[in-house]
Amino acid sequence: VTVSDCINPGEIEEGDLMAYVDGLAGEVVRRHIARCAACAREARELGSLQRSLVGQLYRFACPAPESLTGYLARDLDRNDTLVVAQHVRECPHCARELATLAREARSGPGWARRALQVLEAALIQPAGGWEPAAVRGGPGWLAGARRYQADEVEALVMVGDPAARGDRQDVTGLLHVGGAVPEEAGEVTAELYRDDGLVGLAQVSTRGQFSFGELSAGTYDVCLVWGAREIWLRGIEVG
Ligand SMILES: [Zn+2]
Ligand SMILES: [Zn+2]
């Protein structure tokens, strides 16, 4: 970075600012920009430039709108699903677009009649006192988990890297209702959000489990979409 006023030029590189603008910067860069007025200004200018110009270029490599819609509706074949899933993790534009599409899908004709119920799950810390049989790894697993509750719905969320793949981590979760895995667990969709973007979709298993693999550092929210209900589990720190 050729910013003369930078408080510590050794800490930040050219590409870091662009990554920051895209919401993909790591902790060190985010902290630097929080402290460094010069780099913060540079990032703001880069951001507005990107929104006006580079945003168009981004679109060049982006999947067609039908692909995003198809991905959301689970209509794509396996290969296309993987391509879109990978893309929305890396492209903040499409991630935001997908979030908008998901929101719109839940305000369509079928939904108008059954009002959407949005629940903000409360974080309960420490997570102890609840040891569902389905948790693999036992109490040790539970000790590091985040426990959420909204009415009779409970969820455990764990951030970890079982396969030790460097800086990427998995987010896994378990859904319970009234102390047991609900019968309809397999019909619940887990949506993964980062900033304003929808960056992942996962089906909850009939055992109440869901997972998102190999996530880069950042703060994520999970939204469990269940019938006409949204249950939000917020503030999941990865990395
Ligand atoms: Zn700086
Ligand atoms: Zn894109």
pLDDT digits (tens, 9 = 90+) for 46-101: 888 777 665 555 566 789 889 999 999 999 999 999 999 999 998 888 999 999 99
- Is residue 216 within 8 A of residue 167, CB to CB? The reply is yes
39 Cα to the center of ligand 1, angstroms: 4
Identify which ligand lies nearest to the alpha carbon of 56. Answer: 2
Please compute the mean of the pLDDT values over residues 159-172 and round it to a whole number: 75
| Most confidently predicted of 59-73, 153-167, 217-231 | 217-231
pLDDT at 1: 46
Is residue 176 predicted with pLDDT exceeding 70? yes
Closest CA to 201 of 96, 102, 61: 102
The Cα–Cα gap between 71 and 113 comes to: 25
Residue 95 tokens, joined: 């991630």
Return the percent helix, strand and coil in the chain, to nearest 5.
Answer: 40, 30, 30
64 Cα to the center of ligand 2, angstroms: 9
Q: Based on C-alpha coordinates, what's the Rg of the chain?
A: 20
Angle between helices 65-72 and 92-105 (to 10 degrees): 60
pLDDT at 127: 62
- Is residue 37 within 8 A of residue 5, CB to CB? The reply is yes
- Is residue 164 within 8 A of residue 139, CB to CB? The reply is no
> Per the omega criterion (within 30 degrees of 0), is the bond before 126 cis?
yes
Identify which ligand lies nearest to the alpha carbon of 96. Answer: 2
Identify which ligand lies nearest to the alpha carbon of 97. Answer: 2
